[in-house]
Structure 1
Amino acid sequence: MMSDFNFEVQPLTDILRIKRLGYQTYLPHYTHLWYNTEGIDWYLHKCFNETQLALDLANPDVSYFCIRVNGEDAGLLKLVKNKAPLDQNPQQCLYLEKIYFLKSYTGLGLGQKTMRWVFEKARQSHFEQVWLMAMDSSQKAIESYKKAGFSLLAPSRLDDIEFSRLKSELRGMVILAKKI
Protein backbone atom coordinates (compact mmCIF):
# COMPACT_ATOMS: atom_id res chain seq x y z
CA MET A 1 0.00 0.00 0.00
CA MET A 2 1.05 3.58 -0.61
CA SER A 3 0.34 4.92 2.90
CA ASP A 4 4.07 5.41 3.59
CA PHE A 5 4.57 7.39 0.38
CA ASN A 6 4.29 11.08 -0.36
CA PHE A 7 1.41 11.10 -2.91
CA GLU A 8 0.43 14.24 -4.81
CA VAL A 9 -1.44 15.21 -7.94
CA GLN A 10 -0.13 18.30 -9.72
CA PRO A 11 -1.53 20.25 -12.68
CA LEU A 12 0.43 19.52 -15.83
CA THR A 13 0.72 22.15 -18.57
CA ASP A 14 4.05 21.30 -20.24
CA ILE A 15 3.16 19.76 -23.61
CA LEU A 16 6.40 17.80 -23.97
CA ARG A 17 6.12 16.42 -20.43
CA ILE A 18 2.51 15.31 -21.06
CA LYS A 19 3.59 13.65 -24.31
CA ARG A 20 6.55 11.90 -22.65
CA LEU A 21 4.42 10.69 -19.71
CA GLY A 22 1.68 9.60 -22.10
CA TYR A 23 4.07 7.41 -24.06
CA GLN A 24 5.86 6.09 -20.96
CA THR A 25 2.63 5.13 -19.21
CA TYR A 26 0.77 3.75 -22.26
CA LEU A 27 3.35 1.59 -24.02
CA PRO A 28 4.13 -0.96 -21.25
CA HIS A 29 0.45 -1.71 -20.62
CA TYR A 30 -1.48 -1.54 -23.88
CA THR A 31 0.59 -2.59 -26.90
CA HIS A 32 -1.11 -6.02 -26.94
CA LEU A 33 -4.40 -4.33 -27.91
CA TRP A 34 -3.21 -3.40 -31.38
CA TYR A 35 -2.69 -5.47 -34.52
CA ASN A 36 0.75 -3.91 -35.05
CA THR A 37 3.02 -1.00 -34.18
CA GLU A 38 1.29 1.15 -36.82
CA GLY A 39 -1.84 1.09 -34.64
CA ILE A 40 0.07 1.94 -31.49
CA ASP A 41 1.81 4.83 -33.26
CA TRP A 42 -1.55 6.07 -34.62
CA TYR A 43 -3.16 6.05 -31.17
CA LEU A 44 -0.24 7.73 -29.39
CA HIS A 45 -0.11 10.39 -32.10
CA LYS A 46 -3.89 10.88 -31.89
CA CYS A 47 -3.77 11.42 -28.11
CA PHE A 48 -0.39 13.01 -27.55
CA ASN A 49 0.61 14.98 -30.64
CA GLU A 50 1.69 18.50 -29.76
CA THR A 51 -1.13 20.18 -31.71
CA GLN A 52 -3.82 18.13 -29.93
CA LEU A 53 -2.20 18.74 -26.54
CA ALA A 54 -2.06 22.49 -27.22
CA LEU A 55 -5.77 22.45 -28.12
CA ASP A 56 -6.53 20.49 -24.95
CA LEU A 57 -4.55 22.90 -22.79
CA ALA A 58 -6.32 25.88 -24.38
CA ASN A 59 -9.69 24.34 -23.47
CA PRO A 60 -10.72 25.37 -19.92
CA ASP A 61 -12.70 22.13 -19.57
CA VAL A 62 -9.66 19.86 -20.12
CA SER A 63 -6.98 19.33 -17.47
CA TYR A 64 -3.94 17.11 -17.29
CA PHE A 65 -2.32 16.12 -14.02
CA CYS A 66 0.86 14.37 -13.04
CA ILE A 67 0.50 11.79 -10.29
CA ARG A 68 3.67 11.92 -8.22
CA VAL A 69 5.08 9.65 -5.55
CA ASN A 70 8.00 10.78 -3.40
CA GLY A 71 8.71 13.58 -5.87
CA GLU A 72 8.85 11.26 -8.89
CA ASP A 73 6.41 11.15 -11.82
CA ALA A 74 4.29 8.01 -11.43
CA GLY A 75 1.28 8.56 -13.68
CA LEU A 76 -0.86 10.70 -15.94
CA LEU A 77 -4.44 11.80 -15.39
CA LYS A 78 -6.75 13.60 -17.85
CA LEU A 79 -10.08 15.06 -16.72
CA VAL A 80 -12.74 16.69 -18.89
CA LYS A 81 -15.36 18.91 -17.26
CA ASN A 82 -18.91 19.20 -18.58
CA LYS A 83 -18.81 16.06 -20.70
CA ALA A 84 -21.55 13.51 -20.08
CA PRO A 85 -22.24 9.91 -20.98
CA LEU A 86 -25.35 8.98 -22.91
CA ASP A 87 -27.99 11.72 -22.71
CA GLN A 88 -27.10 13.12 -19.28
CA ASN A 89 -26.63 16.79 -18.41
CA PRO A 90 -22.98 17.65 -19.21
CA GLN A 91 -22.81 20.40 -16.55
CA GLN A 92 -23.24 17.74 -13.86
CA CYS A 93 -20.49 15.40 -15.10
CA LEU A 94 -16.74 15.06 -14.87
CA TYR A 95 -15.18 12.63 -17.36
CA LEU A 96 -12.09 10.74 -16.24
CA GLU A 97 -10.64 10.25 -19.72
CA LYS A 98 -7.21 8.87 -18.87
CA ILE A 99 -5.56 7.38 -15.82
CA TYR A 100 -2.25 5.74 -16.71
CA PHE A 101 0.61 4.69 -14.46
CA LEU A 102 4.23 3.84 -15.09
CA LYS A 103 4.70 0.07 -14.85
CA SER A 104 6.82 0.36 -11.69
CA TYR A 105 3.97 2.14 -9.87
CA THR A 106 1.14 -0.30 -10.64
CA GLY A 107 -0.34 -2.57 -7.99
CA LEU A 108 0.56 -0.21 -5.15
CA GLY A 109 -2.86 1.32 -4.46
CA LEU A 110 -2.20 4.48 -6.45
CA GLY A 111 -5.31 4.03 -8.58
CA GLN A 112 -7.59 4.07 -5.53
CA LYS A 113 -5.74 7.06 -4.03
CA THR A 114 -6.05 8.90 -7.34
CA MET A 115 -9.77 8.06 -7.56
CA ARG A 116 -10.37 9.53 -4.10
CA TRP A 117 -8.52 12.67 -5.22
CA VAL A 118 -10.70 12.88 -8.38
CA PHE A 119 -13.90 12.45 -6.35
CA GLU A 120 -12.86 15.24 -3.98
CA LYS A 121 -12.05 17.51 -6.92
CA ALA A 122 -15.46 16.70 -8.44
CA ARG A 123 -17.20 17.51 -5.14
CA GLN A 124 -15.36 20.84 -4.85
CA SER A 125 -16.48 21.73 -8.39
CA HIS A 126 -20.08 20.69 -7.66
CA PHE A 127 -20.21 17.85 -10.18
CA GLU A 128 -22.81 15.20 -9.45
CA GLN A 129 -21.09 12.36 -11.26
CA VAL A 130 -17.66 11.12 -12.31
CA TRP A 131 -17.63 8.70 -15.24
CA LEU A 132 -15.18 6.82 -17.40
CA MET A 133 -14.97 4.21 -20.11
CA ALA A 134 -13.07 0.94 -19.79
CA MET A 135 -12.46 -1.92 -22.17
CA ASP A 136 -14.96 -4.68 -21.43
CA SER A 137 -12.10 -7.17 -21.65
CA SER A 138 -10.19 -5.43 -18.82
CA GLN A 139 -11.82 -7.24 -15.92
CA LYS A 140 -9.08 -6.29 -13.46
CA ALA A 141 -9.53 -2.58 -14.24
CA ILE A 142 -13.32 -2.84 -14.09
CA GLU A 143 -13.13 -4.54 -10.67
CA SER A 144 -10.81 -1.78 -9.47
CA TYR A 145 -13.27 0.88 -10.65
CA LYS A 146 -16.16 -0.95 -8.93
CA LYS A 147 -14.07 -1.10 -5.74
CA ALA A 148 -13.74 2.70 -6.00
CA GLY A 149 -17.54 2.99 -6.16
CA PHE A 150 -18.27 3.02 -9.89
CA SER A 151 -21.31 1.20 -11.30
CA LEU A 152 -21.96 -0.05 -14.80
CA LEU A 153 -24.08 2.42 -16.80
CA ALA A 154 -24.06 0.88 -20.27
CA PRO A 155 -22.05 -1.14 -22.76
CA SER A 156 -20.39 0.72 -25.63
CA ARG A 157 -17.99 0.05 -28.49
CA LEU A 158 -15.17 1.99 -30.08
CA ASP A 159 -15.86 3.05 -33.65
CA ASP A 160 -14.88 0.20 -35.96
CA ILE A 161 -13.62 2.55 -38.68
CA GLU A 162 -11.66 5.02 -36.53
CA PHE A 163 -10.25 2.22 -34.36
CA SER A 164 -9.72 -0.32 -37.17
CA ARG A 165 -6.09 -0.80 -36.04
CA LEU A 166 -7.29 -1.99 -32.61
CA LYS A 167 -8.02 -5.71 -32.42
CA SER A 168 -11.71 -6.11 -33.26
CA GLU A 169 -12.48 -8.32 -30.28
CA LEU A 170 -11.08 -5.63 -27.95
CA ARG A 171 -13.21 -2.69 -29.12
CA GLY A 172 -15.98 -3.43 -26.64
CA MET A 173 -16.26 -0.87 -23.86
CA VAL A 174 -18.27 -0.25 -20.73
CA ILE A 175 -19.37 3.10 -19.36
CA LEU A 176 -18.98 3.29 -15.59
CA ALA A 177 -20.15 6.12 -13.32
CA LYS A 178 -20.09 7.13 -9.69
CA LYS A 179 -22.52 9.57 -8.09
CA ILE A 180 -20.75 12.19 -6.01
Structure 2
Amino acid sequence: MIENSFEIQQLNDFETIQDLGSRTYFPHYTHLWYDTQGIEWYMERCFGDNALKADFENPDLLYFAVRLNGKNVGFLKLVKHKTPLENQPKESFLYLEKIYFLKEATGLGLGQKAMAWVDEQARQWGINKVWLMAMNSSLKTIQSYEKAGFVKIATTRLDDEVFCRLRAELRGMVVLQKELF
Protein backbone atom coordinates (compact mmCIF):
# COMPACT_ATOMS: atom_id res chain seq x y z
CA MET A 1 0.00 0.00 0.00
CA ILE A 2 1.29 3.46 -0.91
CA GLU A 3 1.40 5.93 1.97
CA ASN A 4 -0.57 9.12 1.33
CA SER A 5 1.32 12.35 1.86
CA PHE A 6 -0.86 15.16 3.27
CA GLU A 7 0.40 18.73 3.52
CA ILE A 8 -0.83 22.31 3.53
CA GLN A 9 1.10 25.10 1.82
CA GLN A 10 0.46 28.82 1.63
CA LEU A 11 -0.75 30.07 -1.75
CA ASN A 12 0.57 33.37 -3.07
CA ASP A 13 -0.49 33.47 -6.70
CA PHE A 14 -3.79 34.33 -8.35
CA GLU A 15 -3.66 31.60 -10.99
CA THR A 16 -3.44 28.71 -8.55
CA ILE A 17 -6.21 30.13 -6.37
CA GLN A 18 -8.43 30.77 -9.38
CA ASP A 19 -7.77 27.28 -10.74
CA LEU A 20 -8.50 25.60 -7.41
CA GLY A 21 -11.52 27.83 -6.85
CA SER A 22 -13.03 26.80 -10.16
CA ARG A 23 -12.15 23.10 -9.93
CA THR A 24 -13.45 22.78 -6.37
CA TYR A 25 -16.57 24.95 -6.68
CA PHE A 26 -18.22 23.83 -9.91
CA PRO A 27 -18.67 20.11 -9.15
CA HIS A 28 -20.21 20.78 -5.73
CA TYR A 29 -22.16 24.02 -5.81
CA THR A 30 -23.63 24.94 -9.21
CA HIS A 31 -27.06 23.64 -8.14
CA LEU A 32 -27.26 26.51 -5.63
CA TRP A 33 -27.75 29.12 -8.33
CA TYR A 34 -30.72 30.02 -10.53
CA ASP A 35 -28.54 30.25 -13.62
CA THR A 36 -24.97 30.36 -14.93
CA GLN A 37 -24.89 34.15 -14.56
CA GLY A 38 -25.18 33.68 -10.80
CA ILE A 39 -22.28 31.25 -10.78
CA GLU A 40 -20.17 33.59 -12.90
CA TRP A 41 -21.01 36.48 -10.55
CA TYR A 42 -19.96 34.43 -7.52
CA MET A 43 -16.73 33.23 -9.12
CA GLU A 44 -15.81 36.80 -10.04
CA ARG A 45 -16.75 37.98 -6.52
CA CYS A 46 -14.53 35.35 -4.90
CA PHE A 47 -11.79 34.59 -7.40
CA GLY A 48 -11.67 37.46 -9.88
CA ASP A 49 -8.49 39.50 -10.17
CA ASN A 50 -9.96 42.48 -8.29
CA ALA A 51 -11.22 40.28 -5.45
CA LEU A 52 -7.89 38.50 -5.08
CA LYS A 53 -5.97 41.77 -5.29
CA ALA A 54 -8.04 43.10 -2.37
CA ASP A 55 -7.51 39.85 -0.47
CA PHE A 56 -3.74 40.00 -0.95
CA GLU A 57 -3.70 43.58 0.34
CA ASN A 58 -5.17 42.35 3.64
CA PRO A 59 -2.34 41.02 5.83
CA ASP A 60 -4.85 39.08 7.95
CA LEU A 61 -6.19 37.08 4.99
CA LEU A 62 -4.35 33.98 3.78
CA TYR A 63 -4.91 31.19 1.25
CA PHE A 64 -3.54 27.68 1.63
CA ALA A 65 -3.47 24.69 -0.71
CA VAL A 66 -4.42 21.30 0.68
CA ARG A 67 -2.11 18.81 -1.01
CA LEU A 68 -2.23 15.05 -1.25
CA ASN A 69 0.66 13.12 -2.75
CA GLY A 70 2.15 16.33 -4.13
CA LYS A 71 -1.04 17.52 -5.87
CA ASN A 72 -3.40 20.34 -4.94
CA VAL A 73 -6.74 18.78 -3.97
CA GLY A 74 -8.34 21.67 -2.10
CA PHE A 75 -7.80 25.02 -0.48
CA LEU A 76 -8.48 27.06 2.62
CA LYS A 77 -9.15 30.76 3.00
CA LEU A 78 -8.43 32.05 6.51
CA VAL A 79 -9.04 35.50 7.95
CA LYS A 80 -7.34 36.41 11.21
CA HIS A 81 -9.05 38.76 13.68
CA LYS A 82 -12.52 38.66 12.13
CA THR A 83 -15.34 38.14 14.62
CA PRO A 84 -18.56 36.20 14.04
CA LEU A 85 -20.67 38.56 16.16
CA GLU A 86 -20.42 42.24 17.02
CA ASN A 87 -18.62 43.53 20.11
CA GLN A 88 -16.14 40.67 20.43
CA PRO A 89 -12.35 41.00 20.83
CA LYS A 90 -11.01 40.59 17.29
CA GLU A 91 -7.65 39.16 18.33
CA SER A 92 -9.37 36.04 19.67
CA PHE A 93 -10.83 34.84 16.34
CA LEU A 94 -9.88 33.08 13.14
CA TYR A 95 -12.50 32.89 10.39
CA LEU A 96 -12.38 29.82 8.18
CA GLU A 97 -14.04 31.49 5.22
CA LYS A 98 -13.55 28.70 2.70
CA ILE A 99 -12.65 25.03 2.79
CA TYR A 100 -13.16 23.48 -0.63
CA PHE A 101 -12.02 20.15 -2.07
CA LEU A 102 -11.94 18.53 -5.47
CA LYS A 103 -14.75 16.01 -5.85
CA GLU A 104 -12.30 13.09 -6.01
CA ALA A 105 -10.70 14.23 -2.74
CA THR A 106 -13.91 14.16 -0.72
CA GLY A 107 -14.61 11.29 1.64
CA LEU A 108 -10.89 10.68 2.32
CA GLY A 109 -10.78 12.38 5.72
CA LEU A 110 -8.91 15.38 4.34
CA GLY A 111 -11.46 17.81 5.71
CA GLN A 112 -10.88 16.59 9.25
CA LYS A 113 -7.10 16.75 8.75
CA ALA A 114 -7.38 20.25 7.35
CA MET A 115 -9.57 21.33 10.26
CA ALA A 116 -7.01 19.98 12.75
CA TRP A 117 -4.31 21.92 10.87
CA VAL A 118 -6.43 25.10 11.08
CA ASP A 119 -6.77 24.61 14.84
CA GLU A 120 -3.01 24.22 15.23
CA GLN A 121 -2.35 27.24 13.01
CA ALA A 122 -4.74 29.34 15.11
CA ARG A 123 -2.92 28.30 18.28
CA GLN A 124 0.42 29.26 16.73
CA TRP A 125 -1.01 32.69 15.93
CA GLY A 126 -2.24 33.04 19.52
CA ILE A 127 -5.88 32.76 18.50
CA ASN A 128 -8.22 30.69 20.66
CA LYS A 129 -11.46 30.60 18.64
CA VAL A 130 -12.16 29.42 15.09
CA TRP A 131 -15.46 30.11 13.39
CA LEU A 132 -17.15 29.51 10.06
CA MET A 133 -20.50 29.73 8.33
CA ALA A 134 -22.40 26.97 6.57
CA MET A 135 -25.66 26.86 4.66
CA ASN A 136 -28.39 25.73 7.04
CA SER A 137 -29.55 23.27 4.37
CA SER A 138 -26.16 21.47 4.36
CA LEU A 139 -26.93 19.11 7.20
CA LYS A 140 -24.09 16.67 6.46
CA THR A 141 -21.59 19.51 6.33
CA ILE A 142 -22.86 20.96 9.60
CA GLN A 143 -22.61 17.51 11.22
CA SER A 144 -18.99 17.19 10.08
CA TYR A 145 -18.19 20.59 11.62
CA GLU A 146 -19.90 19.57 14.86
CA LYS A 147 -17.87 16.34 14.81
CA ALA A 148 -14.77 18.55 14.61
CA GLY A 149 -15.88 20.38 17.78
CA PHE A 150 -17.83 23.33 16.40
CA VAL A 151 -21.08 24.47 18.00
CA LYS A 152 -23.82 26.64 16.51
CA ILE A 153 -23.79 30.14 17.96
CA ALA A 154 -26.09 32.03 15.60
CA THR A 155 -28.16 31.94 12.46
CA THR A 156 -28.17 34.49 9.67
CA ARG A 157 -29.22 34.91 6.07
CA LEU A 158 -27.22 36.02 3.06
CA ASP A 159 -28.36 39.42 1.85
CA ASP A 160 -31.30 38.91 -0.51
CA GLU A 161 -30.30 41.84 -2.70
CA VAL A 162 -26.61 40.98 -3.02
CA PHE A 163 -27.21 37.23 -3.38
CA CYS A 164 -30.35 37.53 -5.53
CA ARG A 165 -28.99 34.95 -7.99
CA LEU A 166 -28.60 32.32 -5.26
CA ARG A 167 -31.72 30.23 -4.77
CA ALA A 168 -33.80 32.00 -2.10
CA GLU A 169 -34.42 28.85 -0.08
CA LEU A 170 -30.64 28.33 0.25
CA ARG A 171 -29.65 31.71 1.68
CA GLY A 172 -30.05 30.67 5.32
CA MET A 173 -26.76 30.25 7.18
CA VAL A 174 -25.57 28.97 10.54
CA VAL A 175 -22.56 30.40 12.34
CA LEU A 176 -20.45 27.78 14.09
CA GLN A 177 -17.59 28.36 16.49
CA LYS A 178 -14.95 26.24 18.17
CA GLU A 179 -12.97 27.19 21.24
CA LEU A 180 -9.41 25.90 21.28
CA PHE A 181 -7.97 24.77 24.58
Provide TM-score, normalisation by structure 1.
0.97
Residue in 2 aligned with 1:108? 108
Q: CA deviation at 1:32?
A: 0.5
Residue in 1 aligned with 2:11? 12
Correspondences of 1:77-156 after superposition (within 5 Å): 77-87=76-86, 88-156=88-156
- Residue 77 of structure 1 aligns to a residue whose secondary structure is strand
Residue in 2 aligned with 1:65? 64
- Residue 100 of structure 2 aligns to a residue whose secondary structure is strand
**Could you say what the CA RMSD is over the residues aligned between the two structures, in angstroms?**
1.0
- Residue 162 of structure 1 aligns to a residue whose secondary structure is coil
Extract structure 1 runs of 4+ deviating beyond 4 A.
none
1:11, 1:66 within 8 Å by CA — same for their partners in 2?
yes
CA deviation digits over 1:107-158, x for unaligned, max 9? 1100000000000000111112000000000001000000000000011100
Percent identity over paired residues = 57
- Residue 21 of structure 1 aligns to a residue whose secondary structure is helix
Residue in 2 aligned with 1:25? 24
Residue in 2 aligned with 1:53? 52
Stretches of structure 1 lacking an aligned partner (at least 5 in a row) = none
Provide TM-score, normalisation by structure 2.
0.96
Q: CA deviation at 1:4?
A: 3.7
- Residue 4 of structure 2 aligns to a residue whose secondary structure is coil
Stretches of structure 2 lacking an aligned partner (at least 5 in a row) = none
Residue in 2 aligned with 1:157? 157
Q: CA deviation at 1:55?
A: 1.6
